[in-house]
Structure formats: structure tokens, C-alpha cells
Amino acid sequence: MKIISGNSNHDLSKEISDYTKIKLSEATITKFSDKEIFVEIHENVRGEDVFIIQSTSFPANDNLMELLVTIDALRRGSASRITAVLPYFGYARQDRKTGPRTPISAKMVANLITTAGANRVLTMDLHAGQIQGFFDIPLDNLYAQPLFTKDIIDNNRSENLVFVSPDVGGVMRARSFAKKLDADLAIIDKRRDAPGVSAAMNVIGNVDGKKCIIIDDLVDSGGTICNAAKALKDKGATEVYGYCSHGVYSGKALENIQSSMLEEMVCTNSIKPTFEIPKNMKFLSVAPLFGEAIMRINNETSISSLFD
């Protein structure tokens, strides 16, 4: 087995390497002066089971192209199996047509990864479950839930608790957490007037005098989760915490979160933070989760049992 790191999140790749006790393979992934991606693998990969770790986060197009070119280099180097490890799968929000003459970019990216030569994909908390069906190769979708439930219990947040979905689309995710910790469930009725702009309208469920945890798959500008926190406090919630799998944190996200009614914003390191982490924000490492999944894929053993 060999593990190769792209440039999107080298710190996470190193943590995964430490967990698996497999040294990262030597590779050059750089750009020519005109910004073309160039990749050279400095180790023999013939017949090897190779894992490429690369989140397609900002800059999404550069990181995606790095992934595709690296897959092609490995395919031409006769690797026996190539697994694209995407802690964060970019373009996942474009999983359906939202209007006339709009793309389904998540499907297009799936086609690109498959055509480049990947034999398998390993990712975490896809924005929409149906994206698994966009791939014609096996895909394993991991979940950050065990990390979050442990953090909730360790920080004594499991008493008098309500899990909150910030929109109707996330109800199944929030319900899963509520079932796991025997907590109540609430839903934010949200109206989105434009991409990246949201307004929390109503709270469905009782949150008065309760501790609330908002569960989402990703936070981008922070508008949704910050508006949801305000709506919950207005309805009598005593404390509000945010948990998300992928901290995109673009635009004024940090400013929005710091000035919000959230006690703490917790996410994973699937996307490398490029800023000084404020006091009310925390990152949990997914390295053990991905490291264990990589070893199980290599050994052809069950991954789903990780979440039993």
C-alpha cells in the first residue's frame, strides 16, 4: 500500500500517515508558470494499492485538477488499484438542476474522477446521499457522527438536549444524532432567497429552556447556522452549539460566527483552516477515521462496521 498527499490538506495527510504507519510517498505536485498542474511520482507504484488524499476545497478547481492529474500519473505507472480519498467532496451542492439550463456538476466531477482512472472513492458526509449513485465505481461514505457524539458527551452537552436541523433537507442527519443520544429533535423552517443568502423563519419543535445543537454537513458563509442560532435563542434556548462536518468558511463566515449567538462552532479538519482559529471555534481530526478506513479497504474488510 502507498499513500500520496495532494496539496489541499497536507497536515491531515500526515496525520493519516502517522495513524496507518505508512510513510507518505514522495511525489512532486506543482505548477508550470502558466499554472498548468504537473505531477511526478518518485516511487515505483506498479502493482500497488494507492490512496491519494485530496480534498477538493478552495481553490476547488486547482485541487480537483491536481487529483485528476495524479490519478492519471498513477494509472500510467501501473498501480493495481487507485483510491481517491476526498475528505471533502467539492461541487457536492450542485447535485441536481436548480433551474432551466443549470448543470449537475457533482455528476460531472464524478465522471471526471472515474474517467481519469480512479477505481474507488473514499469520502465523508456527502452533501446529498444520491451522489453515491453518480459514481460507476465503488464509493465509501464515512460519517463524522462518532467524533461529534464523543465531543458532545465529553463536554457534558448531552443533558436536556435538542438536536436541530437547520433546514428540512438535514432532518435525517439530525434525527440520527437525536436517536443516538436519546435527545429531542427540532427543525428550522428556512427560506433561501438567493445562493449563499438565507433567513431562518420558524422553529418547529420545543426548544424553550433546552440546550440546542445545530447539526449540518457544511458551513460556508455561516448565514444559515447563525440565523438558526438566533431563532433558537429567541424561542428560549439556553445554549446553542454548531457542529458541521466540513468548515468551508468563505466570505464573512468567521465574522458571522464570532458575532453570532453560538457558544461554540465545531467542525472537522476535512478542509484545512487557513486562518487563526478563534476561541469559539474548534476542529476535530478525522485522521483516525480515514486511516482506519484506508487500512480496511487495503485488507478487504468491512467499513460499515466502523459505525455499528
Residue numbers in the chain where pLDDT is lower than 50: none
At residue 202, the pLDDT reads 86
Got the DSSP string for 173-236? Answer: HHHHHHHHTT-EEEEEEEEEEETTEEEEEEEES--TT-EEEEEEEEESSSHHHHHHHHHHHHTT
At residue 224, the pLDDT reads 87
Task: Find the distance separating the first CA and the last CA of the chain, reported in whole Å.
Answer: 26
- Whole-angstrom distance, CA of residue 56 vs CA of residue 208: 40
Question: Catalytic site residues?
Answer: 190
Query: Taking a C-beta distance cutoff of 8 angstroms, is the pair 123, 86 a contact?
Result: yes
- Give the number of other CB atoms < 10 A from CB of residue 108: 13
Phi, psi at residue 78, to the nearest 5°? 70, 35
Q: Which three cell numbers stand for residue 44?
A: 515505483
Q: Which three cell numbers stand for residue 294?
A: 484506508
Instruction: Please state which CATH number belongs to domain 145-284.
Output: 3.40.50.2020
At residue 4, the pLDDT reads 98
CATH fold match for the domains 2-142+288-307 and 145-284: yes
Q: 10: which residues sit within 8 A by CB, 6+ positions away? A: 272
At residue 187, the pLDDT reads 95
Q: Which three cell numbers stand for residue 54?
A: 485530496
- Helix, strand or coil, per DSSP, at residue 157: coil
- Helix, strand or coil, per DSSP, at residue 109: helix
At residue 196, the pLDDT reads 57
Strand 2-5 and strand 281-284: the pairing is unpaired
- Whole-angstrom distance, CA of residue 102 vs CA of residue 294: 35
The per-residue pLDDT of the chain, averaged, comes to 94
- Give the number of other CB atoms < 10 A from CB of residue 156: 8
- Give the number of other CB atoms < 10 A from CB of residue 26: 10
Query: Taking a C-beta distance cutoff of 8 angstroms, is the pair 225, 219 a contact?
Result: yes
The amino acid occupying position 185 is L
At residue 167, the pLDDT reads 86
Span 2-142+288-307 CATH architecture: 3-Layer(aba) Sandwich (3.40)
Q: Which three cell numbers stand for residue 252?
A: 464573512
From residue 302, give the alpha-carbon distance in Å to each of 296, 307, 308: 7, 10, 11
At residue 169, the pLDDT reads 84
Boundaries of every domain in the chain: 2-142+288-307, 145-284
- pTM for this entry: 0.93
